[in-house]
Amino acid sequence: MTNKRIEISLTNIVLLVILPLLLILLWQLRSLIVVLMIAVVISATLVPIVNTTQKVGMPRFLAVLIVYAGLIATLTGFGLIVGPTVVEQIQRLIRKLPVYLETLQSLLSDLILRFGMRDTGASNIINQLLDVQGLTSWAIRSSQQLVVRSFSVTKGIIGSVLSAILALLLSAYMVSASKQLLEDIINLFPAPWNKRLAAQIKPVGKRMGGYIQGRILVSAILGIVISVSLRFLGLSELALGLGVIAGFTNLIPFFGPVLGAIPALIVATSLGGLTVVWVLLLFVIVQNLETYLLDPLLVGSSVKVPPLYQLLAVLGGAQVLGIIGALIVPPWIAGLGVLLENLYVKPKLIAEGHQDLDNQQLTINN
């Protein structure tokens, strides 16, 4: 019987001590980590625009300054021109939400009686499902939970504004000094991983930036189309606010289009007639337009994120970071997918392919 000696080296002791301390440090710095994640997404989105601007012969820092100034001017102009109307319409929607739900409840109860379902059990089920106070409080509570998760990372509204400014500044620095910054990070890894990682910078940035650029452009187009269409369908009083809600929620894969359609359908129900049918048809057409035309054209196949991974990214991001997580985690998953594909999957398949070829050649020679 042999006695096995367990050797504990100084390196192992140092790792056992440092690793828990590092995890604690990362937890304490989680707000900064989220800001860095947002900054990376912003920089990946704007790098192609900066590169295009730089091609005219101007220095990179000047190209970064022009692009970011244009971005801030666009957002500010949009907020000043459209913002007050959107805020006023959304506030009006929230105030009238109980009335809209009561109208929907009455409509469904009338439909039950019209189809001869006079059983009080069916009416009670409808009344419970469409309990005005319950649904209103649930919607407000769910929205607050998502917002609170987002604010808990940044310590309130003021912290969120400061974090947004910090993320914008960090992204500007990343874009302007991206080459040197990435070289410094890559040099921390030993050979040959430094060269392998250096080769992945461009495809990772392209996939993350392409994902966000496509989602923003598609959501903007759909928001405009929905706003204009709702105005023609008789919802002019809230058309702009409903279109902005639909466009913003469309940034979230899978659940966004459904969430954006619910407020418009509730408002359309209160108008009676065939309005709700036309509004429902509008969102069905818009969803198919996005799925079969806009997404393949503007987002393209370069993202290559399986739907299951996108769904898990949205659910996990929303669970941990609220609305912020639902928006920024999917592009990170897209970028990490590049690393997994190029650093593990493809080499593994190539190695297995070479092994199969060697075995086949060995069989032939024998």
- Per-residue pLDDT tens for 290-315? 878 887 777 665 566 677 777 788 88
The upper half-sphere exposure of residue 263, i.e. CA atoms within 13 Å in the direction of its Cβ, equals: 30
Percent above pLDDT 70 for the chain: 76
Residue bearing tokens 């209103």: 136
Query: What single-letter DSSP state applies at residue 2?
Result: P
Q: Is the pLDDT of residue 251 over 90?
A: no
Provide the phi-psi class of 340: left if phi over 0, else alpha when psi is between -120 and 50, else beta. alpha
pLDDT in tens, 151-199: 455 555 566 677 778 888 888 888 887 777 777 788 877 878 888 888 8
Contact indicator for 234, 279 with CB cutoff of 8 Å: no
pTM (two decimals): 0.74
Compute the C-alpha angle 121/123/126, nearest 5°.
110
The upper half-sphere exposure of residue 245, i.e. CA atoms within 13 Å in the direction of its Cβ, equals: 23
- DSSP states of 314-358: HHHHHHHHTHHHHHHHHHHHHHHHHHHIIIIIHHHHHHHHHHHHH
Contact indicator for 166, 340 with CB cutoff of 8 Å: no
Q: Is the pLDDT of residue 210 over 60?
A: yes
Rounded CA-CA distance 95/237 in Å is 14
Q: What is the pLDDT of residue 159?
A: 63
